[in-house]
A = this chain, B = another copy of it.
Amino acid sequence: MALVPWFLSSTSQAQNAPMGRSLEKQFDSYLSPADLRARLKRLSAHPHHVGSPYDKENAEFILSQYKTWGFDARIEEFSALFPTPKTRLLEMTAPVKYTAVLKEPPLKEDSTSNKVVEQLATYNAYSIDGDVTGDLIYVNYGIPSDYDELERMGIDVQGKIVITRYGGSWRGIKPKVAAEHGAIGCLIYSDPKDDGFYVGDVYPKGAWRNEFGVQRGSVAEMPVYPGDPSTPFIGATPGVKRLPLNEIKVLTKIPVLPISYHDALPLLQSLTGPVAPDHWKGALPVTYHVGPGPAKVHLKLAFSWDIKPIYDVIAMIQGSTYPDQWIIRGNHHDAWVNGAEDPLSGQVATMEEGKALGELVKSGWKPKRTIVYCAWDGEEPGLIGSTEWVETHADELRQKAVAYINSDSNERGFVYMDGSQTLQHFINDVARDVLDPEKNISVWERARAVRLLESSPGEKKDIRSATDLKIGALGSGSDFTPFLQHIGIASLNIGYGGESEGGGYHSIYDSFDHFMRFGDPTFAYGVALAQTGGHAVLRLADADILPFDFSDFAAVVAGYLGEIKDLTQNMREETLELNRELEENVFTEVANPAKTYRAPKAKDPVPYLNFAPLENAVSTLRKSAEEYQNAKRELEESGRKLAGDRPMRLNEIVFRTERALTNPEGLKGRPWFIHEIYAPGFYTGYSVKTLPSVREAIEQRQWEEADQQVIVVADTLEAYSGEIRKATAILRSASK
């Protein structure tokens, strides 16, 4: 197996080497691509969505494997609202009749595509029932700025059905924004420009989405809260009190249906009205018009609003020294259909880590800290398995959770690592010691190379001068969300990608056969993920002092503050310019009289906000962080040790600092999200908004709110710095 060559050895993990290094070599020696392959074939053999027989079978298989490997494993079962389709009708009634196919045909080249009876029909989960008829309007990605452009064209979606294309935001944003603007129904199709023949040859000739492929997916309002929609804040355990359907705020306001580009084509072909702006145009062979009409569509949807079981597999290895400090590692196991890539490509690698850790334990090794491997169910409909588990065990997690490391789909390519920047240096070190399976360099070096190649001259300079690669902040889209954003547990999301060819996402074509042609057929990157995740778990589990770096985090927060100040200044200048151009009549002077055009409205001027509390808090943070890092380095260099319970106390303070970044009141309008640094964007979905309460108030031009939130976030950061100083005090006590 791929061993780490001596020349990649890093000096920065001196405290764990050489013992850690030889342990990792031993760990690596247990990793087997053949085992990954067999596991993927087994798990992806049938559709295994929430509530399906094979979902349960997979959970039991995973459980049995962890037990075989010596883990203390169990299934934790929850039950959650999970609607499945009863009626799906989409027809165009004018100017020509067309009834949408709404079906993905089996292919002889894809051996699991013919399990039609077991497959979930194509739909968007948590769309409400509905029976609506109306003129159609094409609204591009259906994000707020698209509606601004519609307004310029003098077009209103009130009472209309919108057709949007996938992309530009998380899918759930599309029906939300459409409903806010008065639309009565929402179609979402995969345009071949973004996801089809424009990108590459389509399945089965190539990897990409063919004309019948449909992207299933949840449209529950995840940025308000994820998990079971009927049990916000509380674990969906037996006997839980549930919200009645009509009180669930995260269901869509209008019916929503995803469709293929085969079904979208006749609809788009039948639109007239203005030609769509260039950046709205996709790759279908039509002139993209906006409408409204004359295409009139009838959309009828009805769902079985059932409670379905959720099977989380939780497998533990007890820590020998600090059993109440948990290193948690997770990847979901449920899929929309067969899910070979999403999520099983990641799941089989994560399980391989479990297998190898089991072997280490059998060989006599004991982790200092408790290791928890989790295979989540119900991620696809809305991070249900992870969220319900986190809500159920919230108190215990607040006490014990050191870090959560997530992965999901995995492919050939470049390592990605995002998450809490306190772990930036740590995960960089991990990546420095994993060999890229395709090149004779570390995955870290390869990731650095691709960033260098794709960056601007200024960014290249930063990359070359930095010791580490920057890791991005986490928004949402996978199971790290409840850990990070509901509890405040330092989290990472890791994986590989960038070289494989996609196109099966959330369709019946995300299959073993597809993955073996276009994914990671040798499972070399599956093994690389197991090395990356496994080494990270080993290092966290055995570290004397947890490798949190507060200076990295302080630098990043200072950057976020800079961004927000720039955002405000740019908005100020844009507003001044817009209002000036309105006074100058520029818009009406330029407008083509042959087209309908409405000039934008004047905007309220952007006041100067008081960022001083945040400036001061960031200043305190930088100083506290620097003192901590200095004290830590001095201790390590001195060779002295912390005595008694001081190491445990120090580490508890260190890993609980992330809790101090939360605000129990939560974000405005979405109290489930309590992290003051990272949140999924209210109008972007998966994409992160950093310093969200301040940033989103500014973006939404709520100036007073922004000024107030500056104080809230500043207080949060001051409290966080206080926790760091406590840790520093313990570090310094060793020197006395």
On A, residues with C-beta under 8 Å from B are: 192, 197-202, 206, 208, 275, 281, 283-287, 412-413, 438-439, 441, 445-446, 449-450, 452-453, 457, 460, 499, 573, 577, 581, 584-590, 592-594
Contact = CB atoms under 8 A, between A and B. Distances in A.
Given A439-B589, A577-B457, A593-B438, A449 B584 contact: yes
A451 to B, nearest CB: 9
Contact of A587 (B206, B453, B590): B453
A287 B198 contact: yes
A281 B198 contact: yes
Contact of A573 (B286, B439, B445, B457): B457
Nearest to A289: B201
A201 B287 contact: yes
A88 to B, nearest CB: 27
A286 B202 CA distance: 10
A287 B284 CA distance: 12
A288 to B, nearest CB: 8
Contacts of A201: 275, 287
Given A577-B457, A589-B449, A287 B197 contact: yes
B281 A453 contact: no
A441 B200 contact: no
B281 A441 contact: no
B200 A453 contact: no
3 closest cross-chain pairs (CB), A and B? A449-B589, A285-B285, A449-B586
25 contacts: A192-B285, A197-B285, A198-B287, A199-B275, A200-B287, A201-B275, A202-B287, A206-B287, A283-B283, A283-B285, A284-B285, A412-B594, A439-B589, A445-B589, A446-B589, A449-B584, A449-B586, A450-B589, A452-B584, A453-B581, A453-B586, A453-B587, A457-B577, A499-B592, A499-B594
A213 to B, nearest CB: 15
A585 B284 CA distance: 40
A328 to B, nearest CB: 33
Contacts of A452: 581, 584, 586
Contact of A590 (B197, B450, B457): B450
A592 B525 CA distance: 13
A327 B460 CA distance: 55
Nearest to A588: B439
A720 to B, nearest CB: 37
B446 A590 contact: yes
A590 B202 CA distance: 25
B287 A453 contact: no
Nearest to A500: B594
A201 B441 CA distance: 53
A589 B451 CA distance: 11
Contacts of A587: 453
> Counting chain B CB atoms within 10 Å of each CB, which of A198, A275, A577, A585 scores highest?
A198
